[in-house]
């Protein structure tokens, strides 16, 4: 284990791979070692992973990680670039296909480029070298860490919708546009996502305050609105922006921390839906984020995040009221709230839909208040109230067409 909280120099044995059995029907992307070109190790890992996960639950096999750093890491010679990578990647993919008897289908995930992106590495630079030869590429992976510094305020960064969207747009707009225009059938994945503050790095626990729950939900929903297929948030042992701390480490006790609640909100935003898509609702306000969720092209849910920073001791919690226009057949709505009584800077007491999840309760949901409120629709309108440093999901219900709340 190194100081950044990232595990290194460990041995993966049978128990590790058997652990996949704890998550039946979960789809996985498994990263196959590529930097050291150890074919035996790569094959052993891939074979064990496929055996325990099952090929049907293997979303993709990713070959390598952050290849744009391979020269600086000393595992490739100076001058090694996208063209060299493409040749090696295709050779490795063919080796694994033959050795594992993989079906002739798109199964591999490529790129896995770092957030610090080293020139000349871009999606275009790699794909122009014909990495799609043989039609084996299912997805591309890009990494992203939103950096903040100690001179900016909470309201300017973590609690700011424009900061979230501009960070994503600045990092990926050219890659996204190129892939959607030239390879629309290949999925875009953000395979490693997190946050950093200067001086504190990944272990800065100020990244785990309640405001991170709103940031997590906003980031996930915004990237969904850009047609990103998957987002994998970094966990590791004790990252401040992780969803939980699984074990005691470096003075930190095991805990479910605030970002987990952002994942819960997003999971419920998509819950039980098929053919689901997300569209950002433009607010023209740094401190407001809003999204519409459509099922079969019919509006099903609305998410609203009020980024105004409020903390205990600031007086009465401010609120904003929103007049939502809904389809004529909607008769009522159900409103679920993400909140903490301590406000944006709270480090405990987090609640989603009237429930809390804690290490002391073995991570099982504990109901502490009413799960949701119901509101009636009048003339196609409903008024929704959102407190400062809170977020809500508004679920549309209809007794006319069987959309029960």
Asked if 274 and 281 touch (Cβ cutoff 8 Å), the reply is no
176-183 average pLDDT score: 98
pLDDT over 50 at 1, yes or no:
no
How far, CA to CA in Å, does 381 sit from each of 97, 171, 322, 328?
Answer: 56, 38, 10, 9
Q: Which residue has the higher pLDDT, 350 or 147?
A: 350
pLDDT over 70 at 28, yes or no:
yes
Task: Give the pLDDT confidence score for residue 273 in this predicted structure.
Answer: 82
Task: Give the pLDDT confidence score for residue 2 in this predicted structure.
Answer: 46
pLDDT > 70: percent of the chain: 96
Instruction: Compute how many other C-beta atoms are within 10 angstroms of the C-beta atom of residue 332.
Output: 17
Strand residue runs (E) in 282-380: 288-295, 298-306, 319-325, 332-339, 351-352, 355-356, 366-367, 373-376
Domain 14-273 in CATH 3.40.50.1000: no
Q: 209-218, 290-299, 372-381, 395-404: which has the minimum mean pLDDT? A: 395-404
323 SS3 class: strand
Strand residue runs (E) in 328-367: 332-339, 351-352, 355-356, 366-367
pLDDT > 90: percent of the chain: 82
Q: What is the pTM of this model?
A: 0.95
Residues linked to residue 382 through DSSP beta bridges, in sequence order:
324
| CA-based nearest residue to 306, from 377, 245, 384 | 384
191-207 average pLDDT score: 74
What are the structural domain ranges in the chain?
14-273, 280-397
Class of domain 280-397: mainly beta
Q: Are strands 108-113 and 137-148 parallel, antiparallel or unpaired?
A: parallel
Model confidence pLDDT, tens digit, residues 48-86: 999 999 999 999 999 999 999 999 999 999 999 999 999
């Amino acid at each position: 284990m190194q100081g950044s909280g990232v595990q290194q120099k460990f041995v993966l044995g049978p128990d590790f791979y058997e652990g996949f059995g704890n998550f039946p029907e979960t789809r996985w992307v498994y990263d196959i070692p590529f930097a050291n070109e150890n074919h035996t190790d790569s094959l052993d890992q891939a074979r064990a992973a496929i055996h325990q996960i099952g090929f049907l639950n293997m979303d993709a096999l990713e070959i390598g990680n952050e290849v744009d750093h391979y020269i600086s890491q000393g595992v490739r010679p100076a001058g090694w670039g996208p063209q060299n990578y493409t040749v090696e990647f295709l050779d490795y993919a063919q080796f694994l296909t033959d050795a594992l008897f993989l079906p002739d289908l798109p199964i591999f995930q490529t790129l896995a480029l770092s957030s610090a992106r080293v020139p000349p590495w871009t999606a275009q630079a790699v794909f122009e070298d014909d990495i799609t030869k043989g039609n084996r590429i299912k997805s591309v992976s890009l990494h992203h860490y939103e950096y903040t510094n100690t001179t900016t305020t909470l309201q300017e960064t973590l609690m700011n919708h424009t900061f979230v969207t501009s960070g994503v747009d600045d990092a990926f707009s050219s890659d996204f546009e190129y892939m959607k225009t030239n390879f629309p059938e290949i999925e875009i994945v953000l395979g490693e996502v997190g946050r950093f503050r200067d001086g504190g790095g990944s272990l800065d626990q100020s990244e785990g305050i309640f405001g991170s729950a709103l940031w997590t939900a906003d980031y996930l929903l915004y990237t969904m609105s850009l047609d990103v297929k998957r987002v994998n948030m970094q966990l590791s042992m004790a990252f401040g922006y992780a969803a939980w701390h699984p074990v005691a480490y470096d003075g930190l006790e095991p805990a479910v921390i605030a970002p987990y609640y952002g994942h819960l909100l997003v999971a419920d935003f998509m819950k039980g839906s098929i053919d689901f898509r997300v569209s950002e609702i433009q607010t023209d306000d740094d401190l407001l984020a809003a999204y519409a969720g459509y099922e079969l092209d019919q509006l099903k849910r609305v998410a609203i995040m009020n980024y105004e920073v409020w903390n205990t001791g600031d007086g009465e919690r401010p609120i904003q009221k929103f007049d939502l226009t809904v389809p004529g057949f909607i008769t009522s709505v159900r409103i679920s709230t993400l909140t903490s009584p301590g406000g944006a800077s709270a480090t405990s007491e987090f609640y989603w839909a009237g429930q809390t999840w804690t290490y002391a309760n073995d991570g099982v949901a504990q109901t502490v208040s009413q799960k949701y409120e119901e509101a009636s629709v009048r003339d196609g309108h409903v008024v929704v109230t959102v407190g400062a440093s809170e977020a809500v999901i508004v679920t549309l219900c209809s007794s006319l067409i069987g959309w029960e709340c």
